Amino acid sequence: MQTPREILADIWTSAGGEPSALDAVTLDGEEPQLPSSFRVAAAAQASIAATGLAAAQIWQMRSGQAQGVAVDMRHAVVECRSERYLRVDGRPPPPAWDAIAGIYKTRDARFVRLHTNFSHHRDAVCKVLNCKPERDDVQAALLQWDAEAFETAAYAAGGVVAMMRSREQWLAHPHAKALAEQPLVSIEKIGDAAPKSWPTRIGPGGDRPLAGLRVLDLSRVIAGPVACRTLAAHGADVLLISGPDLPFIPWLTIDTGRGKLTSFVELRSEQGRQVLRDLLADADIFSQGYRPQSIAALGFSPEDAAKINPGIVYVSLSAYGHAGPWAGRRGFDSLVQTATGFNHAEGVAAGVEGPKELPAQMLDHATGYLMAFGAMMAKARQAREGGSWHVRVSLARTGQWLWNLGRVADGFGIEDLKGDAVTPLIEDLPSGFGPLRSVRHAAMLSKTPAFWARPAMPLGSHPPQWPARP
């Protein structure tokens, strides 16, 4: 199996990074760190290290100064479970899942997973099943369905579910074959533009690699928000755009809101779309997690963005990749794990009946760091070469990468991390919700330490405008 350094080298060089830059990176720690048959700790360390190295290279471009990057494996994997360790005024997280979310058996003795944390997804499932949103009622209704037929019907009705497949079953699926042809991080030039000079402005908290860069964050839940939280940690001005009526998960919003400004913009109105166009015209990076047809219908496809702002770096997150029969399908980390073989494989390795989840939302978190990495690599290319750029990542392609890293033979021979192991990685921060205890960023840069200069705030706390430049 590859070492974490070799994994990082593959990520780095595949995006055009100079191999010699890897000499600046120190990776500490050993596997396993969490009970799993998959190399979740190595994936966490390599993906976070890639973001740190990209930030260090941008700093060198801007200042002429090289610096070291260090990532501890335990710190990295703890950050990939940051939502678990968040405390707000001393309070732990509430239950993470809706009452009917989770695993159920079907008539054909298979399993399906429901994701119902958003009420419209829950309502869609219950409409298909013609039942009340109670676990016993849902289970009784699902025993009248075969798993794949329900998966198809629920998606058609606007639900988000997944049938559990073994790895072999997934690899036989037409979409798995389409996914295998896509790169882990796709960086594609989509238009001509002159190179943009780096901002001269000092960002919040002082000079850092991304100081003065403006990032629009149109994402929810974990992966996309983690990407922009990472860009904020390296000094970017991140403006999170949400709609006043869009559902959200409060605890995740707090955890991923560190370092960001947050505004409400109603994109269903022409007035709101004009506000976003004006923001986009002055942005450097546009990061979004909507389905392609949804964002295009609003006038903000990659091609639209490149016309509004030639030289933009546009970052797209999807569940299942940008090509293949499932390219437009909704999805979340837990569902992608179920559909692509992870839950089946973990259950077999742990000796349990039925599905078993990875010990972290690793597809979400690793994808978030790969998004941030791709955004920074594309921005560096824009500064050197010009052009508008489109970065694409997906949860399922990240899952394929994680699977291909290999398995941990004794992964379930260790206990989960206890509080004493995590405490040194925690910091105290103010916020608009009360005092926070949260995980520090794991990429340690020797000259420009990563940190969040802005507190997490309730959605819509700021006007939809960029901070004034001096």
Residue 353 lies in a domain: no
Residue 164 lies in a domain: no
Cβ neighbours of 158 (radius 10 Å): 14
Cβ neighbours of 95 (radius 10 Å): 8
Give residue 246's pLDDT: 82
The domain total for the chain is 1
For the segment 378-420, what is each residue's pLDDT rounded down to a tens digit? Answer: 999 999 999 999 999 999 999 999 999 999 988 999 999 988 8
What residue ranges in 275-418 does DSSP mark as E strands? 285-288, 313-318, 388-394
Q: With pLDDT > 70 as the criterion, what percentage of the chain qualifies?
A: 98
Task: Give the residue carrying structure tokens 């360390």.
Answer: 45
Residue 343's H or E segment, with its range, is helix 342-350
Neighbouring-strand partners of residue 434: 432
Specify whether the CB–CB gap between 124 and 113 falls below 8 A: no
Residue 335 lies in a domain: no
DSSP letter string, 283-342: -SEEEE-S-HHHHHHTT-SHHHHHHHSTT-EEEEEESS-SSSTTTT----HHHHHHHHTH
Tokens linked to 406: 């290999």
pLDDT band at 469 (very low <50, low <70, confident <90, very high): low
470 has a pLDDT exceeding 60: no
Residue 145 lies in a domain: no
Tokens linked to 81: 């479970």
Show Cβ contacts of residue 21 under 8 Å, excluding neighbours closer than 6 positions: 12, 53, 56, 57
Domain region containing 195: 4-91+178-323+358-445
Residue 151 lies in a domain: no
Average pLDDT, the chain: 94
Give residue 329's pLDDT: 86
Residue 456 lies in a domain: no
Query: How far apart (Å, rounded) are the C-alpha atoms in residues 28 and 18?
Result: 22
Please, where are the H alpha helices in 30-129?
40-63, 73-79, 82-85, 119-129
Peptide bond into 455 cis (omega under 30): no
Tokens linked to 110: 């298979």
Q: With b meaning 16 or more CB within 10 Å and e meaning fewer, what string describes 41-68?
A: bbbbbbbbbbbbbbbbbbbbebeeeebe
CATH number reported for the structural domain that contains residue 245 in this entry:
3.40.50.10540
For the segment 344-370, what is each residue's pLDDT rounded down to a tens digit? Answer: 999 999 999 889 999 999 999 999 999
181 has a pLDDT exceeding 80: yes
Residue 350 lies in a domain: no
One-letter amino acid at 386 equals: G
Tokens linked to 355: 């599905």
Tokens linked to 171: 């690899």
Query: How far apart (Å, rounded) are the C-alpha atoms in residues 267 and 148?
Result: 35
202 has a pLDDT exceeding 90: no
Q: With pLDDT > 90 as the criterion, what percentage of the chain qualifies?
A: 87
What's the whole-model pTM score?
0.95
First-residue to last-residue Cα distance in the chain: 51
For the segment 275-299, what is each residue's pLDDT rounded down to a tens digit? Answer: 999 999 999 999 999 877 889 999 9
Residue 229 lies in a domain: yes
> What's the DSSP call for residue 182?
S
Query: How far apart (Å, rounded) are the C-alpha atoms in residues 370 and 365?
Result: 9
Neighbouring-strand partners of residue 105: 111
